[in-house]
Amino acid sequence: MNLFKFFSFSFHTHNERRQADVPLCGRSMVEMLGVLAIIGVLSVGAISGYSKAMLKYKLNKFSESMNMLINNALQTTRTLPRSNNASSWISYAEIFDKLGLIPDGISLYDKIYMRDIFNHNIWLYSYPNFYGIGYSFSNNNQDLEICRTLFYITKENRHELNYVQTSQFLPEDEDGNAESLESTIYGDRYCTGNRTCLKNITLDEIDTACRNCYEGSTCVFYITWLP
């Protein structure tokens, strides 16, 4: 081998080694799409997890505030004047606000209504024969959990309660008549016979009452107790 061929061979061999040692810097379109897909899946999972965590946090705050409101109402309303007209009711929202009995997580909205962390209406009232709290909400993904939570709260306070009720108001028919579907669960004072009672209500019975309500256009959860 002459000197020219030797140096030419050595140069090409060295250059090929250098090229082999240099990593590829580019990425194919398929690889990039794969990375984007993985990022998308992780993002959806993170958003879903965050939403569930926020709902759980709100439900915990809701449970605390509603339980306190019910207890404040049970201890205080019997000392307040109540309605003496069977066709009208008295609201206590303003009175409770002035007395400082509306707990954190619930605020006075107007003279009749309070609102909770979910921005749902709550009203505290009396008729001649009973006192009550009404809780109104409309259909969305969290309402079923709210309804279940209300049953858990009232079950803890069942000793003082007359009954709780989910009431679904159906749209008016052509003649202007409107029907309602109701599920009534009784507190200890009225837990007799074959009635469904808070003290032994099952998860299936809670879901039935809540789902009946959940599928309606407007729903109210009533909590009542005696003078």
In a domain, 16, yes or no: no
- Residue 177 has a pLDDT of 67
Contact 222, 132 (CB under 8 A): yes
In a domain, 9, yes or no: no
Contact 119, 134 (CB under 8 A): no
For the chain, give the number of residues.
Answer: 227
- Residue 11 has a pLDDT of 44
In a domain, 70, yes or no: yes
Q: What angle do CA 57, 207, 58 make, to 5 degrees?
A: 10
Domain extent for 184: 31-225
- Residue 3 has a pLDDT of 45
- Residue 6 has a pLDDT of 43
Average pLDDT by consecutive 10-residue portion of the chain (227 residues)?
47 50 59 65 61 86 96 94 88 95 95 94 95 86 88 95 88 65 91 93 91 74 94
β partners of residue 225: 131
In a domain, 210, yes or no: yes
Look at residues 102, 80, 97 and name the one whose alpha carbon lies nearest to residue 89: 80
Q: How many domains does the chain have?
A: 1
Query: Where does residue 30 rank: exposed (0-12), middle (13-18), buried (19+ CB within 10 A)?
Result: exposed
In a domain, 198, yes or no: yes
In a domain, 62, yes or no: yes
In a domain, 7, yes or no: no
3-state secondary structure of 210: helix
User: CATH number, domain at 79?
Assistant: 3.30.1690
Contacts of residue 194, Cβ cutoff 8 Å, sequence gap at least 6: none
- Residue 115 has a pLDDT of 96
In a domain, 3, yes or no: no
